[in-house]
């Protein structure tokens, strides 16, 4: 009992410790979720003899909602946005970044400040500028989001030199030199159309921003040419179609889905990937099931000896972790060093481009998947065969059926009824068999023309490439849109599977 | 002809023997069961060759391109290199991370799922049936389908609770626990339903609380099922690659075996093959041992529909 309260109090403490950070980050959704969860836990566990089902259900439900339900909804939301490289920032941050990148060169009238470069919390922390106005000796702290007045009590000095301010430590010249690139790009917006940028490490200048943001009209204006840029789909765009970068993340409606259907650079690979995903899943089930069933029939002889030994050895491929065996096969099928090609070369004088040719890469995937999956099919077919009453086949024989006919008309249909739910779930599993595709072929070989999909990519590995794999940057919006397609297919497969197993009707 | 047809036919009651002794006996034996052993041996060759190859690779002194099935100069160098050489990857960190992720995920999965299953099996409350159906629907969609959303969620979490955010194995465990309810709850509920309710009722008459019924009656009786589900979820976490790779990108020390070994071998199949083979074998041992131990549960209806990853 005491332990329960200790755990609860610790949890409450952990949650509260994050509140300020959540407010700072404006993570309102997360904050709501976390607060609701902790309140639910407190209410349920601090009221004895009430909410009894809640005591058993709430903890698991919190995980379910946070890491299973919410991600699905959030994926749907992201699929309607342009979130990705180039549109990572929120709009206010993008506005600041655009303006800061438009600073004009210094003029004779540009105001100069004395500069001490600082970093928060240690020399590798976020950069800040400690600025001194030489005319008035006013000191200010310059951060990415603007100027802050300085509390003189917190300034640490050594003779004339400022050595630190609160959590900020001063960088000496060599420390600053190590971070030149960041310091040169650093600029402090002043809020009146100018920003302060370093000139060397000891001096800073207040420079005019060429692009000015009008928050009332929500437009960006070039003060030199007079061009007005208006927001469109997460970018400021001029009449002539010129775009300012970076953009910001925003809801763009069905844009990602339209791309999948209309943009030939995305539609063509998508259609190929879509077809191959179905083909791969279907063929994987067919070949593993065929081999598994044949083996089960061969082994289903009462007179045969050593069956237990064969069985425990045959399932070894299935027992090994698939990430490991996929990599082992990748080594064995290696075009130049691989043992398969070395043996083929010695025996028949041929080599096969297993992983580098589009056709053979697909064959390789199916071959390795056959190796990974036939033991499972063998096991379930053995079980199903043993479950078929022998008097049925005997009756068929008495009625004059040959062995083959009795199998076709009696054994096989009964077996299929028993294993079809497993075949469906095997199809669903292979439909998303990321491990094998990623680790064996990595989706390759690539399509010509530098597409983001490879010849053997399936939908889930294509999604992964779009979000995490591509050298050209992440496209979370499009990746989520592809995820939505997978959701739809998986839902359809599950609907079929429920129809087979009638699980819904059994819920008591 | 007749002999061939018989051997092709599906196995049924053996026909009465007619030929006794001599070479005929071997022909009969072969047509009846002997050829089955030939098929079995061919299958074993297919099934076991890659396994033998990786075992031999781990003892081979040299590269993938020069490896033979029987190592010419068997050596333990690969193991030594991988495990102790300072220039080599943090293999033990990966192994340790995989174990932590596996053990923590399976223990917490069992705890969360068993509690929920108890509520669904023993308690009557509003929303019970919809809750069960909702679980069934949610578990259709594997977490990896929502990878972008999970990544962005953990990215946000990292700035607020760094210990469980992106780049930590604890964050990965949290994600795995999102799937703790779902199919596990269904399996356990099915088993709890078979524990006679009379046991609960007599305990209640004796004054037991719901917690006492749960901890002292239901859980001990369900211990074997809990163990099986825990071990299965351990096995599943060991092979999980997608979420582990996006969660633990970048920091080599924090990777799991699946992510680390893939990164290691991708640097060069030929040259890294030996140490990789050694590492893969060591990493596979816990999973294979558990798997063989659990074989009959995995094959039986308990996991019907669940396909190992």
Alpha-carbon gap: B93 to the closest alpha carbon of chain A (Å):
17
Q: Which of B50, B178, B306 sits opposite A325 (nearest CB)?
A: B50
Which of the residue ranges A256-265, A495-504, B140-149, B218-227 would you say has the lowest mean pLDDT?
Answer: A495-504
Q: Which of B64, B146, B159 sits opposite A331 (nearest CB)?
A: B64
Mean predicted confidence (pLDDT) in B156-174: 90
Judged against a pLDDT cut of 90, whether residue A453 lies above it is answered with: no
Can you tell me which residue has the tokens 């019924």? B213
**Range among A100-114, A331-345, A389-403 with highest mean pLDDT value:** A331-345
Q: How far apart are CA A48 and CA A223, in angstroms?
A: 68
Bridge partners (DSSP) of residue A220 are A213, A229
Judged against a pLDDT cut of 90, whether residue A177 lies above it is answered with: no
Contacts of B47 in chain A (CB under 8 A): 313-314, 316-317, 371, 375
Contacts of B181 in chain A (CB under 8 A): 60-61, 63-64
Mean predicted confidence (pLDDT) in A113-130: 87
Mean predicted confidence (pLDDT) in B70-86: 80
Alpha-carbon gap: A214 to the closest alpha carbon of chain B (Å):
30
Pick B109 or A52 by higher pLDDT.
B109
B-interface mutation test, from A324, A421, A458, A498, most B Cβ less than 10 A away: A324
Q: Phi and psi (nearest 5°) for A401?
A: -75, 140
Q: What percent of chain B is predicted at pLDDT more than 70?
A: 87
Query: Which sign does the torsion angle of CA B256, B262, B266, B272 carry?
Result: positive
Judged against a pLDDT cut of 90, whether residue B100 lies above it is answered with: yes
What digits encode the pLDDT tens for the residues A205-233? 888 888 888 878 888 888 888 888 888 88
**Range among A241-250, A391-400, B114-123 with highest mean pLDDT value:** B114-123
What average pLDDT does the structure give for chain B? 82
> Which helix (H) or strand (E) element contains residue A459?
helix A459-464
DSSP 8-state secondary structure symbol assigned to residue A252: -
Contacts of B43 in chain A (CB under 8 A): 295, 310, 314
Q: Which of B125, B141, B214 sits opposite A487 (nearest CB)?
A: B141
Q: Which of B11, B123, B152 sits opposite A301 (nearest CB)?
A: B11
Contacts of A334 in chain B (CB under 8 A): 64, 269-270
**pLDDT in the model for residue B163:** 87
For A197, the 3-state DSSP assignment is strand
Residues A109 and A98: beta-carbon distance below 8 Å: no
Mean predicted confidence (pLDDT) in B39-43: 90
With cut-offs at 50, 70 and 90, classify the pLDDT of residue B304.
Answer: very low
Judged against a pLDDT cut of 60, whether residue A120 lies above it is answered with: yes
**A243-244: strand order across its sheet:** A211-214, A219-222, A228-232, A235-238, A243-244
What average pLDDT does the structure give for chain A? 86
**pLDDT in the model for residue B98:** 94
Judged against a pLDDT cut of 90, whether residue A368 lies above it is answered with: yes
Question: How many of the other CB atoms lie within 10 Å of CB of B76?
Answer: 12
**pLDDT in the model for residue A247:** 84
CB pairs under 8 A between A and B: 317
With cut-offs at 50, 70 and 90, classify the pLDDT of residue A76.
Answer: very high
Q: How far apart are CA B16 and CA A148, in angstroms?
A: 100
Question: How many of the other CB atoms lie within 10 Å of CB of B199?
Answer: 13
Q: How far apart are CA A375 and CA A323, in angstroms?
A: 17
Q: A304 vs B37: CB contact, 8 Å cut-off?
A: yes
Burial (CB count <10 Å: 0-12, 13-18, 19+), residue B123: middle
Q: B149 vs A70: CB contact, 8 Å cut-off?
A: yes
Residues A386 and A484: beta-carbon distance below 8 Å: no
**pLDDT in the model for residue A506:** 56
Residue of A nearest to B145 (CA): A483
Query: Which sign does the torsion angle of CA A432, A436, A437, A442 carry?
Result: positive
**Range among A134-138, A464-468, B28-32, B250-254 with highest mean pLDDT value:** A464-468
What number is the ipTM of this complex? 0.83
With cut-offs at 50, 70 and 90, classify the pLDDT of residue A502.
Answer: low
Residue of A nearest to B150 (CA): A71
Q: How far apart are CA A79 and CA B149, in angstroms?
A: 10
Q: A64 vs B181: CB contact, 8 Å cut-off?
A: yes
Closest Cα partner for A428 from B190, B44, B139?
Answer: B139
Q: B64 vs A394: CB contact, 8 Å cut-off?
A: no
Q: B32 vs A303: CB contact, 8 Å cut-off?
A: yes
Q: How far apart are CA B272 and CA A321, in angstroms?
A: 20
**Range among A71-80, A209-218, B290-299 with highest mean pLDDT value:** A71-80
Residue of B nearest to A61 (CA): B181
Contacts of A71 in chain B (CB under 8 A): 143, 146, 149-150, 153, 178
Judged against a pLDDT cut of 70, whether residue B308 lies above it is answered with: no
Contacts of B14 in chain A (CB under 8 A): 302-303
Alpha-carbon gap: B295 to the closest alpha carbon of chain A (Å):
9
Which of the residue ranges A30-39, A234-243, A423-432 would you say has the lowest mean pLDDT?
Answer: A234-243
**Angle, helix A52-64 to helix B128-138, in steps of 10 degrees:** 20
Which of the residue ranges A119-123, A194-198, A266-270, B5-9 would you say has the lowest mean pLDDT?
Answer: B5-9
Which of the residue ranges A1-10, A63-72, A436-445, B19-28 would you say has the lowest mean pLDDT?
Answer: B19-28
Q: B129 vs A507: CB contact, 8 Å cut-off?
A: yes
Alpha-carbon gap: A467 to the closest alpha carbon of chain B (Å):
7
Q: A74 vs B146: CB contact, 8 Å cut-off?
A: yes
Pick B87 or B73 by higher pLDDT.
B73
Q: How would you classify the pairing of strands A203-208 and A211-214?
A: unpaired
With cut-offs at 50, 70 and 90, classify the pLDDT of residue A424.
Answer: confident
Bridge partners (DSSP) of residue A116 are A130
Contacts of A404 in chain B (CB under 8 A): 8-10
Helices (H), B30-90: 35-59, 77-84
**pLDDT in the model for residue B306:** 39
**pLDDT in the model for residue A241:** 81
Q: B149 vs A329: CB contact, 8 Å cut-off?
A: no
Mean predicted confidence (pLDDT) in B131-155: 89
Contacts of A332 in chain B (CB under 8 A): 50, 53
Residue of B nearest to A378 (CA): B299
Pick A452 or A69 by higher pLDDT.
A69
**pLDDT in the model for residue B148:** 92
Give the HSE-up count for residue A102: Cα atoms under 13 Å, Cβ half-sphere: 22
Q: How far apart are CA A475 and CA B89, in angstroms?
A: 31
Alpha-carbon gap: B143 to the closest alpha carbon of chain A (Å):
6
Mean predicted confidence (pLDDT) in B146-151: 93
| Both tokens assigned to A460 | 């889930």
Q: Phi and psi (nearest 5°) for A139?
A: -110, 140
B-interface mutation test, from A323, A372, A432, A499, most B Cβ less than 10 A away: A323
């Amino acid at each position: 009992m005491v332990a329960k309260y200790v755990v609860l109090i610790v949890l409450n403490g952990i949650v509260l410790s994050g509140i300020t950070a959540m407010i700072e980050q404006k993570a309102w959704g997360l904050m709501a979720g976390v607060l609701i969860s902790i309140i639910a836990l407190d209410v349920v566990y601090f009221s004895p003899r009430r909410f009894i089902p809640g005591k058993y259900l709430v903890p698991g439900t919190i995980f379910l909602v946070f890491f299973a339900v919410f991600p699905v909804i959030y994926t749907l939301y992201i699929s309607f946005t342009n979130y990705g490289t180039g549109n990572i920032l929120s709009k206010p941050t993008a506005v600041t970044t655009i303006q800061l990148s438009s600073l004009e060169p210094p003029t004779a009238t540009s105001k100069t400040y004395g500069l001490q470069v600082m970093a928060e919390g240690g020399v590798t922390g976020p950069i800040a500028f400690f600025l001194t106005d030489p005319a008035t000796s006013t000191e200010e702290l310059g951060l990415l989001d603007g100027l802050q007045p300085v509390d003189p009590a917190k300034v640490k000095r050594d003779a004339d030199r400022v050595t630190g301010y609160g959590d900020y430590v001063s960088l000496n010249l060599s420390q600053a030199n190590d971070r030149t690139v960041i310091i040169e790009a650093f600029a402090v917006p002043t809020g009146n159309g100018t920003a302060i940028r370093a000139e060397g490490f000891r001096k800073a200048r207040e420079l005019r921003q060429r692009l000015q943001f009008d928050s009332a009209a929500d437009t960006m204006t070039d003060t030199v040419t007079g061009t007005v840029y208006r927001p469109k789909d997460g970018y400021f765009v001029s009449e002539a179609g010129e775009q300012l970068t970076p953009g910001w993340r925003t809801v763009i409606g069905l844009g990602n889905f339209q791309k999948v259907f209309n943009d030939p650079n995305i539609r063509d690979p998508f259609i190929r990937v879509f077809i191959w995903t179905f083909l791969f899943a279907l063929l994987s089930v067919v070949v593993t099931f065929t081999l598994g069933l044949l083996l089960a029939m061969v082994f289903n002889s009462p007179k045969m000896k050593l069956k237990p030994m064969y069985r425990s050895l045959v399932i070894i491929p299935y027992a090994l972790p698939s990430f490991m065996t996929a990599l082992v096969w990748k080594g064995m099928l290696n075009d130049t060093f691989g043992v398969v090609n070395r043996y083929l070369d010695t025996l028949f004088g041929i080599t096969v481009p297993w992983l580098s040719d589009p056709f053979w890469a697909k064959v390789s995937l199916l071959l390795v998947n056959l190796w990974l999956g036939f033991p499972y099919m063998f096991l379930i077919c053995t079980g199903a065969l043993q479950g078929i009453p022998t008097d049925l086949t005997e009756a068929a024989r008495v009625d004059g059926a040959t062995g083959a006919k009795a199998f076709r008309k009696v054994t096989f249909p009964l077996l299929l009824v028993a294993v079809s739910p497993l075949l469906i779930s095997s199809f669903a599993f292979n439909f998303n068999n990321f491990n094998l595709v990623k680790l064996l072929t990595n989706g390759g070989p690539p399509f010509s023309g530098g597409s983001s999909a490879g010849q053997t990519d399936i939908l889930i590995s294509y999604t992964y490439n779009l979000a995490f794999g591509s050298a050209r940057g992440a496209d979370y919006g499009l990746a989520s849109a592809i995820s939505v397609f997978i959701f739809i297919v998986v839902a359809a497969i599950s609907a079929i599977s429920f129809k087979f197993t009638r699980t819904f009707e059994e819920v008591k | 002809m007749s002999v061939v047809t018989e051997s092709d036919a599906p196995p049924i009651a053996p026909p009465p023997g007619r030929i006794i002794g001599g070479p005929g006996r071997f022909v009969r034996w072969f047509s009846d069961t002997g050829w089955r052993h030939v098929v079995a041996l061919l299958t074993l060759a297919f099934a076991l060759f890659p396994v033998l190859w990786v075992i031999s690779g781990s003892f081979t002194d040299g590269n993938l391109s020069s490896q033979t099935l029987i190592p010419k100069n068997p050596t333990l160098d690969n193991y030594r290199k991988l495990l102790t050489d300072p220039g080599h990857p943090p293999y033990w960190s990966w192994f340790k991370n995989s174990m932590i992720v596996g053990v923590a995920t399976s223990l917490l999965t069992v705890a969360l799922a068993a509690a929920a299953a108890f509520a669904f099996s023993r308690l009557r409350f509003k929303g019970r049936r919809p809750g069960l159906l909702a679980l069934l629907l949610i578990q259709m969609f594997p977490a990896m389908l929502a990878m972008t959303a999970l990544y962005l969620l953990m990215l946000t979490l990292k700035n607020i609770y760094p210990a469980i955010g992106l780049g930590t194995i604890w964050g990965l465990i949290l994600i795995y626990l999102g799937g703790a309810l779902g199919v596990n709850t269904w399996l356990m509920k099915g088993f709890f339903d078979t524990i006679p309710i009379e046991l609960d009722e007599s305990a209640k008459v004796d004054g037991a609380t719901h917690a006492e019924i749960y901890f002292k009656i239901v859980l001990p009786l369900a211990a074997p099922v809990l163990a099986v589900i825990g071990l299965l979820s351990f096995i599943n976490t060991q092979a999980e690659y997608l979420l582990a790779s996006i969660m633990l990108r970048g920091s080599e020390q924090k990777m799991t075996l699946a992510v680390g070994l893939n990164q290691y071998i991708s640097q060069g199949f030929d040259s890294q093959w030996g140490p990789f083979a050694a590492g893969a074998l060591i990493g596979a041992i816990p999973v294979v041992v558990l798997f063989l131990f659990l074989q009959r549960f995995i094959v039986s209806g308990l996991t019907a529909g669940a396909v190992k990853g």
